[in-house]
Amino acid sequence: MENLHKFEHQAAGHEGTLTDEDEYLFFKPVLKQEIDFYSNLNNQLAGSVDDNELSLKDWIPKYIGLLTENDTTGLKKENINYVVLENLLRGFRKPNIMDIKLGKILYDEQTVTLGKKERLIKVSNDTTSGSLGFRICGMRVYNYSTELDHSYMELDEDTNYITINKFYGRSRTIDNIDEAIDLFFSMSNLDEKIKHKLAANFLSRLQLLYNTLLDSEVRMYSSSLLFIYETDQSRWEFLDYQDDIIPDDIEDEILDEDETTYCKTLSRLNLIDFAHSRFTPGEGPDENVLVGIENLIRIFEKEKNCNK
Ligand code: ADP
Ligand code: MN
């Protein structure tokens, strides 16, 4: 544990996440349901799917294992469990990150407490979670230019990154959600051509993910989509503007003349946060998350067409 430090690049969510010295890994404190989800993902999907088709696992950060921190204070007897995941930001130099929570229903009927259920129904009704089946939870973006209300953001002057908080996403409506998605892609000084390509590539990913989820029997409440893209133009140049829709495991890294390893990923889309997720064999696809992805696809189609 002493080699780990605070993970500084969250777009949303709770504190307490950690990373290692090289920042290859992401440690998240979790409860039993999330541990179960990751171990079931490894067990039940192994070898069961067609090699040519994407499976749920291809969209989820690689699960390395579980780490338990023993409580050494002697005060409480509770240990903290961390899932150890691949750090999705590995290889990026100046990533922009957006966390979008999926679903109109934000709680699992089987496990939720009454007070929490009422609160989450209200959050859904008052936000685009209810109207569109998704909601922007937060962003961590390069501070390029912004006229955003100051109550929605915080600037880190050392890194020149701004964190856009959950109240921004909660205050969006069906009438201005497109602009919020635009904002995510406008916060960089990348060439317009790259910005268009990014919107097109994320659209392709959303469509592929939709198809994967049609074949997946899971229920994911309050899970998120994590959008990540590189804003450092020199990395785009170095990699010849080649942004793969789905990063290939084996070809993920290349070496230059100095034998330095470079990741090839310039942008990616992943599913994260399975604190309230479970496998539901025989129960068909998760309509609750599919609705949100359908609406995102519509918005990204518009985005792509405007940018032609
Ligand atoms: P919470 O349960 O607190 O909402 P999440 O699993 O949603 O936790 O993670 C919180 C934030 O951490 C996300 O918004 C995202 O920015 C970041 N994050 C989550 N998983 C990873 C990962 N594997 N690699 C890098 N960043 C991650
Ligand atoms: Mn989350």
d(CA 142, ligand 1 centre) in Å: 18
Determine if ligand 1 sits within 6 Å of the CB of residue 87. Answer: yes
pLDDT of 106 higher than 80: yes
User: Which residue out of 80, 87, 123, 272 has the highest number of ligand 1 atoms within 8 Å of its CB and is therefore the one to mutate?
Assistant: 272
Determine if ligand 1 sits within 6 Å of the CB of residue 226. Answer: yes
**Mean per-residue pLDDT, 281-287:** 97
Determine if ligand 1 sits within 6 Å of the CB of residue 26. Answer: yes
d(CA 50, ligand 1 centre) in Å: 29
User: Which residue out of 17, 137, 221 has the highest number of ligand 1 atoms within 8 Å of its CB and is therefore the one to mutate?
Assistant: 17
Pick from 244, 245, 229: nearest CA to 195: 229
DSSP three-state, residue 272: strand
CA distances from 130 to 133, 134, 286, 291, 298 (A): 6, 8, 16, 11, 17
What digits encode the pLDDT tens for the residues 128-140? 999 999 999 999 9
How far is it, in rounded angstroms, from Cα 40 to Cα 217? 12
What digits encode the pLDDT tens for the residues 46-61? 555 566 789 999 999 9
State the pLDDT at residue 77. 72
85 bridge partner residues: 26, 63
Q: Which pair of structure tokens corresponds to residue 132? A: 């569109």
d(CA 213, ligand 1 centre) in Å: 20
Least confident of 220-229, 257-266, 297-306: 257-266
Least confident of 1-5, 42-46, 190-194: 42-46
Q: Where are the alpha helices (DSSP H) in 2-144?
A: 32-44, 114-126, 128-132
Contacts of 250 (CB under 8 A, 6+ apart): none
30 bridge partner residues: 81
Contacts of 183 (CB under 8 A, 6+ apart): 139, 146, 148
Q: Which fold has domain 95-306?
A: D-amino Acid Aminotransferase; Chain A, domain 1 (3.30.470)
State the pLDDT at residue 145. 75
How far is it, in rounded angstroms, from Cα 85 to Cα 24? 9
State the pLDDT at residue 225. 98
pLDDT of 251 higher than 80: no
ipTM value, please give it: 0.99
Domain boundaries defined on the chain: 5-86, 95-306
Q: What is the mean pLDDT of the chain?
A: 92
